[in-house]
Amino acid sequence: MATVFLVTLYEYSPLFSIAVVSLCFIITAAILLGWFGFDVPVILHSSDEPEVITPTPEKHMVQVTNPFALDLGSGPASVIDGISLKLCCLEPCILSCFWGCEVQALQRVLQTNQHDLKLSSPQHFLQALQLRYHYCETFHICKEDREEVQTRLPAEHWITDFGPLPRDRYPLVAVLTLAKEEARNIYNIVANVTVIHVPDDKYNLSARILFQYLLTSQRNMFELKPLFMSAGGEETPQPPDSERTGPASHTEEIPEVGESDWFERAGRDCVICQNAAVNRVLLPCRHACVCDQCVTHFQHCPICRAFVLESFVLELPAEQ
Ligand SMILES: [Zn+2]
Ligand SMILES: [Zn+2]
Protein backbone atom coordinates (compact mmCIF):
# COMPACT_ATOMS: atom_id res chain seq x y z
CA MET A 1 0.00 0.00 0.00
CA ALA A 2 2.75 2.40 1.11
CA THR A 3 4.83 1.34 -1.87
CA VAL A 4 2.01 2.15 -4.25
CA PHE A 5 1.64 5.56 -2.66
CA LEU A 6 5.36 6.30 -2.85
CA VAL A 7 5.50 5.20 -6.49
CA THR A 8 2.56 7.41 -7.34
CA LEU A 9 4.21 10.29 -5.52
CA TYR A 10 7.44 9.64 -7.41
CA GLU A 11 5.62 9.67 -10.73
CA TYR A 12 3.87 12.91 -10.01
CA SER A 13 6.66 14.60 -7.98
CA PRO A 14 7.49 17.36 -10.52
CA LEU A 15 3.82 18.37 -10.70
CA PHE A 16 3.46 18.04 -6.93
CA SER A 17 6.51 20.25 -6.30
CA ILE A 18 5.25 22.86 -8.76
CA ALA A 19 1.86 22.91 -7.06
CA VAL A 20 3.39 23.27 -3.58
CA VAL A 21 5.79 26.02 -4.69
CA SER A 22 3.00 27.92 -6.47
CA LEU A 23 0.76 27.69 -3.42
CA CYS A 24 3.56 28.97 -1.16
CA PHE A 25 4.23 31.81 -3.62
CA ILE A 26 0.58 32.88 -3.68
CA ILE A 27 0.29 32.79 0.12
CA THR A 28 3.53 34.77 0.57
CA ALA A 29 2.49 37.34 -2.03
CA ALA A 30 -0.90 37.79 -0.37
CA ILE A 31 0.69 38.24 3.08
CA LEU A 32 3.21 40.78 1.76
CA LEU A 33 0.56 42.76 -0.10
CA GLY A 34 -1.62 42.76 2.98
CA TRP A 35 1.32 43.87 5.10
CA PHE A 36 1.98 46.88 2.88
CA GLY A 37 -1.62 47.93 2.83
CA PHE A 38 -2.58 47.00 -0.70
CA ASP A 39 -6.04 45.83 -1.47
CA VAL A 40 -5.96 42.21 -0.33
CA PRO A 41 -8.69 39.98 -1.72
CA VAL A 42 -11.58 39.66 0.64
CA ILE A 43 -11.23 35.85 0.73
CA LEU A 44 -8.13 36.23 2.92
CA HIS A 45 -10.13 37.97 5.64
CA SER A 46 -12.01 35.82 8.01
CA SER A 47 -15.69 36.61 7.61
CA ASP A 48 -16.19 36.41 11.38
CA GLU A 49 -13.57 39.07 12.10
CA PRO A 50 -15.49 42.29 12.84
CA GLU A 51 -14.34 45.38 10.91
CA VAL A 52 -12.60 47.75 13.30
CA ILE A 53 -14.24 51.18 13.16
CA THR A 54 -12.97 53.98 15.29
CA PRO A 55 -15.86 56.16 16.42
CA THR A 56 -16.24 59.44 14.56
CA PRO A 57 -15.52 62.39 16.88
CA GLU A 58 -18.50 64.63 17.37
CA LYS A 59 -18.07 68.31 16.59
CA HIS A 60 -19.98 70.93 18.52
CA MET A 61 -21.76 73.28 16.15
CA VAL A 62 -24.07 76.20 16.78
CA GLN A 63 -26.86 77.51 14.66
CA VAL A 64 -26.24 81.12 13.70
CA THR A 65 -28.58 83.89 12.65
CA ASN A 66 -27.69 86.24 9.85
CA PRO A 67 -28.94 89.71 10.82
CA PHE A 68 -28.21 91.22 7.40
CA ALA A 69 -29.97 91.08 4.07
CA LEU A 70 -28.96 93.28 1.18
CA ASP A 71 -30.22 93.15 -2.38
CA LEU A 72 -30.32 95.46 -5.36
CA GLY A 73 -33.29 97.79 -5.37
CA SER A 74 -35.69 98.35 -8.22
CA GLY A 75 -35.06 101.14 -10.66
CA PRO A 76 -32.19 102.06 -12.94
CA ALA A 77 -28.57 101.96 -11.82
CA SER A 78 -25.55 103.74 -13.22
CA VAL A 79 -22.35 105.32 -11.95
CA ILE A 80 -23.68 108.81 -12.71
CA ASP A 81 -27.18 108.39 -11.27
CA GLY A 82 -26.30 106.00 -8.47
CA ILE A 83 -28.00 102.79 -7.39
CA SER A 84 -30.71 101.85 -4.92
CA LEU A 85 -30.17 99.10 -2.38
CA LYS A 86 -32.87 97.12 -0.63
CA LEU A 87 -32.14 96.30 3.00
CA CYS A 88 -33.80 94.28 5.68
CA CYS A 89 -31.92 93.88 8.93
CA LEU A 90 -32.87 92.27 12.23
CA GLU A 91 -31.03 94.97 14.22
CA PRO A 92 -30.20 98.63 13.65
CA CYS A 93 -27.32 98.65 11.19
CA ILE A 94 -24.91 100.99 9.49
CA LEU A 95 -24.51 100.73 5.74
CA SER A 96 -21.21 102.06 4.38
CA CYS A 97 -21.02 102.42 0.60
CA PHE A 98 -17.47 102.57 -0.73
CA TRP A 99 -17.49 103.81 -4.33
CA GLY A 100 -14.52 102.89 -6.49
CA CYS A 101 -12.92 100.62 -3.90
CA GLU A 102 -9.60 99.12 -4.99
CA VAL A 103 -9.77 95.37 -5.61
CA GLN A 104 -6.42 94.72 -3.91
CA ALA A 105 -7.30 96.84 -0.91
CA LEU A 106 -10.55 94.93 -0.34
CA GLN A 107 -8.83 91.56 -0.70
CA ARG A 108 -6.19 92.63 1.81
CA VAL A 109 -8.83 93.84 4.26
CA LEU A 110 -10.75 90.56 4.04
CA GLN A 111 -7.53 88.67 4.62
CA THR A 112 -6.56 90.73 7.64
CA ASN A 113 -9.97 89.95 9.09
CA GLN A 114 -8.86 86.33 9.26
CA HIS A 115 -5.60 87.14 11.03
CA ASP A 116 -5.35 90.15 13.28
CA LEU A 117 -8.01 92.76 12.70
CA LYS A 118 -11.61 92.21 13.64
CA LEU A 119 -13.95 94.04 11.29
CA SER A 120 -17.17 94.69 13.13
CA SER A 121 -17.74 98.43 12.81
CA PRO A 122 -17.67 100.99 9.97
CA GLN A 123 -14.60 102.59 11.59
CA HIS A 124 -12.71 99.30 11.28
CA PHE A 125 -13.42 99.21 7.56
CA LEU A 126 -12.55 102.89 7.08
CA GLN A 127 -9.25 102.34 8.84
CA ALA A 128 -8.41 99.10 7.07
CA LEU A 129 -9.20 100.42 3.58
CA GLN A 130 -6.76 103.34 4.11
CA LEU A 131 -8.59 105.67 1.69
CA ARG A 132 -8.19 103.24 -1.19
CA TYR A 133 -11.62 104.24 -2.50
CA HIS A 134 -13.09 107.34 -4.14
CA TYR A 135 -15.97 108.16 -1.85
CA CYS A 136 -17.76 106.74 1.17
CA GLU A 137 -21.39 107.34 2.07
CA THR A 138 -22.98 105.97 5.25
CA PHE A 139 -26.61 105.31 6.13
CA HIS A 140 -28.27 104.35 9.38
CA ILE A 141 -30.69 101.52 8.80
CA CYS A 142 -33.50 101.03 11.30
CA LYS A 143 -34.48 97.63 12.61
CA GLU A 144 -36.60 95.71 10.13
CA ASP A 145 -36.75 98.74 7.89
CA ARG A 146 -37.58 97.55 4.39
CA GLU A 147 -36.95 100.82 2.66
CA GLU A 148 -34.59 101.29 -0.22
CA VAL A 149 -31.62 103.60 0.07
CA GLN A 150 -30.16 105.51 -2.85
CA THR A 151 -26.39 105.98 -2.99
CA ARG A 152 -24.43 107.85 -5.63
CA LEU A 153 -21.04 109.35 -6.29
CA PRO A 154 -21.30 113.15 -5.86
CA ALA A 155 -20.97 115.05 -9.13
CA GLU A 156 -17.95 117.00 -7.82
CA HIS A 157 -15.84 113.83 -8.01
CA TRP A 158 -16.09 113.96 -11.82
CA ILE A 159 -16.13 110.18 -12.07
CA THR A 160 -18.34 108.80 -14.82
CA ASP A 161 -16.70 105.39 -15.27
CA PHE A 162 -14.06 103.12 -13.77
CA GLY A 163 -11.92 102.76 -16.90
CA PRO A 164 -11.49 99.95 -19.43
CA LEU A 165 -11.31 96.24 -18.52
CA PRO A 166 -9.57 94.70 -16.66
CA ARG A 167 -10.23 97.02 -13.77
CA ASP A 168 -8.45 97.51 -10.50
CA ARG A 169 -11.46 98.98 -8.72
CA TYR A 170 -14.89 97.65 -7.87
CA PRO A 171 -17.63 100.18 -8.66
CA LEU A 172 -19.31 99.74 -5.28
CA VAL A 173 -18.63 97.83 -2.10
CA ALA A 174 -21.50 97.92 0.40
CA VAL A 175 -20.62 97.02 3.98
CA LEU A 176 -23.29 96.32 6.59
CA THR A 177 -22.31 96.31 10.26
CA LEU A 178 -24.33 96.28 13.46
CA ALA A 179 -24.91 99.71 14.95
CA LYS A 180 -25.03 98.68 18.60
CA GLU A 181 -22.03 97.34 20.46
CA GLU A 182 -24.15 94.87 22.47
CA ALA A 183 -25.71 93.41 19.32
CA ARG A 184 -22.21 92.54 18.08
CA ASN A 185 -21.86 90.21 21.03
CA ILE A 186 -25.19 88.49 20.35
CA TYR A 187 -24.73 87.69 16.66
CA ASN A 188 -21.92 85.52 15.39
CA ILE A 189 -22.11 87.32 12.07
CA VAL A 190 -20.71 90.83 12.46
CA ALA A 191 -20.48 92.18 8.93
CA ASN A 192 -21.84 91.68 5.44
CA VAL A 193 -19.61 92.76 2.56
CA THR A 194 -21.32 92.99 -0.83
CA VAL A 195 -19.41 93.75 -4.01
CA ILE A 196 -21.70 95.31 -6.61
CA HIS A 197 -21.18 95.99 -10.29
CA VAL A 198 -22.70 99.29 -11.38
CA PRO A 199 -22.86 99.91 -15.16
CA ASP A 200 -21.13 102.89 -16.78
CA ASP A 201 -20.26 104.06 -20.32
CA LYS A 202 -17.14 101.90 -20.52
CA TYR A 203 -18.75 98.66 -19.30
CA ASN A 204 -22.47 98.42 -19.75
CA LEU A 205 -23.13 95.08 -18.02
CA SER A 206 -26.32 95.44 -15.96
CA ALA A 207 -26.03 96.06 -12.20
CA ARG A 208 -25.51 92.89 -10.19
CA ILE A 209 -24.07 91.50 -7.00
CA LEU A 210 -20.66 90.04 -7.78
CA PHE A 211 -19.92 88.55 -4.37
CA GLN A 212 -21.39 88.65 -0.93
CA TYR A 213 -19.39 87.69 2.13
CA LEU A 214 -20.36 87.26 5.77
CA LEU A 215 -17.71 87.89 8.39
CA THR A 216 -18.09 86.14 11.72
CA SER A 217 -16.92 87.16 15.17
CA GLN A 218 -14.57 84.14 15.06
CA ARG A 219 -12.99 85.88 12.05
CA ASN A 220 -14.18 83.38 9.53
CA MET A 221 -15.47 84.46 6.17
CA PHE A 222 -18.25 82.75 4.25
CA GLU A 223 -19.38 83.53 0.76
CA LEU A 224 -23.13 83.65 0.28
CA LYS A 225 -24.19 81.86 -2.86
CA PRO A 226 -27.44 82.38 -4.71
CA LEU A 227 -29.93 79.60 -4.04
CA PHE A 228 -31.78 78.14 -7.00
CA MET A 229 -34.89 76.00 -6.94
CA SER A 230 -37.32 74.36 -9.32
CA ALA A 231 -39.38 76.92 -11.20
CA GLY A 232 -42.45 74.64 -11.34
CA GLY A 233 -43.03 74.65 -7.60
CA GLU A 234 -45.14 71.46 -7.68
CA GLU A 235 -42.53 68.75 -7.59
CA THR A 236 -40.59 70.36 -4.77
CA PRO A 237 -42.13 72.53 -2.08
CA GLN A 238 -40.66 76.01 -1.83
CA PRO A 239 -38.33 76.71 1.06
CA PRO A 240 -39.37 79.66 3.25
CA ASP A 241 -36.95 82.11 1.64
CA SER A 242 -33.69 82.19 -0.19
CA GLU A 243 -30.40 83.20 1.36
CA ARG A 244 -30.32 86.50 -0.40
CA THR A 245 -33.87 87.73 0.03
CA GLY A 246 -35.13 88.48 3.50
CA PRO A 247 -33.18 87.89 6.67
CA ALA A 248 -31.89 84.34 6.62
CA SER A 249 -32.89 83.67 10.20
CA HIS A 250 -32.73 79.91 9.71
CA THR A 251 -29.21 79.93 8.36
CA GLU A 252 -27.04 77.28 9.87
CA GLU A 253 -23.43 77.93 8.90
CA ILE A 254 -24.47 79.07 5.46
CA PRO A 255 -23.98 76.00 3.24
CA GLU A 256 -26.35 73.82 5.29
CA VAL A 257 -29.54 75.63 4.34
CA GLY A 258 -30.14 73.92 1.03
CA GLU A 259 -29.29 70.49 2.31
CA SER A 260 -31.50 70.50 5.37
CA ASP A 261 -34.42 71.64 3.24
CA TRP A 262 -33.67 68.94 0.75
CA PHE A 263 -33.77 66.30 3.44
CA GLU A 264 -37.01 67.57 4.83
CA ARG A 265 -38.50 67.18 1.39
CA ALA A 266 -36.98 63.78 0.90
CA GLY A 267 -38.94 62.39 3.85
CA ARG A 268 -35.97 62.44 6.21
CA ASP A 269 -34.86 58.92 5.38
CA CYS A 270 -31.48 57.72 6.45
CA VAL A 271 -29.78 56.42 3.29
CA ILE A 272 -28.44 53.39 5.15
CA CYS A 273 -31.28 52.01 7.23
CA GLN A 274 -34.13 53.85 5.46
CA ASN A 275 -35.87 53.72 8.78
CA ALA A 276 -34.84 56.74 10.80
CA ALA A 277 -34.65 60.48 10.36
CA VAL A 278 -31.44 61.94 8.98
CA ASN A 279 -29.86 63.84 11.82
CA ARG A 280 -26.13 63.70 11.29
CA VAL A 281 -23.97 65.89 9.12
CA LEU A 282 -20.63 64.40 8.14
CA LEU A 283 -17.53 66.57 8.05
CA PRO A 284 -15.70 67.74 6.06
CA CYS A 285 -17.94 66.79 3.10
CA ARG A 286 -21.09 68.17 4.83
CA HIS A 287 -23.37 65.45 3.54
CA ALA A 288 -26.40 65.00 5.75
CA CYS A 289 -27.51 61.49 4.91
CA VAL A 290 -27.39 59.17 7.93
CA CYS A 291 -29.07 58.75 11.30
CA ASP A 292 -27.52 58.58 14.76
CA GLN A 293 -27.25 54.79 14.72
CA CYS A 294 -25.82 54.41 11.26
CA VAL A 295 -23.11 57.05 11.68
CA THR A 296 -21.29 54.70 14.06
CA HIS A 297 -20.91 52.05 11.34
CA PHE A 298 -19.21 54.13 8.68
CA GLN A 299 -15.86 55.76 8.20
CA HIS A 300 -16.57 56.88 4.66
CA CYS A 301 -19.45 59.06 3.55
CA PRO A 302 -22.05 56.83 1.82
CA ILE A 303 -22.69 59.58 -0.74
CA CYS A 304 -19.24 60.79 -1.80
CA ARG A 305 -16.93 58.18 -0.15
CA ALA A 306 -14.95 60.98 1.56
CA PHE A 307 -13.28 59.99 4.81
CA VAL A 308 -15.37 61.15 7.76
CA LEU A 309 -13.30 63.14 10.23
CA GLU A 310 -16.13 64.43 12.41
CA SER A 311 -19.88 64.68 12.50
CA PHE A 312 -22.45 66.86 14.18
CA VAL A 313 -26.10 66.56 15.07
CA LEU A 314 -28.44 68.21 12.63
CA GLU A 315 -31.33 69.66 14.52
CA LEU A 316 -34.11 70.06 12.04
CA PRO A 317 -36.58 72.85 12.73
CA ALA A 318 -39.77 71.78 14.49
CA GLU A 319 -42.72 70.65 12.34
CA GLN A 320 -44.59 73.56 10.86
ZN1 LIG B 1 -29.90 54.96 9.68
ZN1 LIG C 1 -20.00 63.12 1.55
Fold classification of 225-320 is Herpes Virus-1 (3.30.40)
pLDDT, mean of each 10-residue run, the chain (320 residues): 75 80 85 64 51 76 84 86 88 90 88 74 83 87 82 83 83 90 84 90 86 86 78 50 42 44 58 85 86 86 89 66
Q: Which residues surround ligand 1, an ion (CB under 5 A)?
A: 270, 272-273, 276, 291, 294
Q: Which residues surround ligand 2, an ion (CB under 5 A)?
A: 285, 287, 301, 303-304, 306
pLDDT for position 270:
86
pLDDT for position 32:
74
Closest-lying ligand to the alpha carbon of 290?
A: 1
Q: Taking the CA of residue 46 as centre, how many other CA atoms within 13 Å lie in the half-sphere pointing to its CB?
A: 3
Give how far the C-alpha of residue 159 lies from the chain's centroid of Cα atoms, to the nearest Å.
37
- Enumerate the domain spans of the chain: 2-44, 63-219, 225-320
pLDDT for position 129:
83
pLDDT for position 253:
43
| Polymer length in residues for the chain | 320
Q: How far apart are CA 284 and CA 255, in angstroms?
A: 12
Find the 97 Cα to ligand 2 centroid distance in Å.
39
Each residue of 81-98: b (16+ CB within 10 Å) or e? ebbbbebbbbbbbbbbbb
Find the 221 Cα to ligand 2 centroid distance in Å.
22
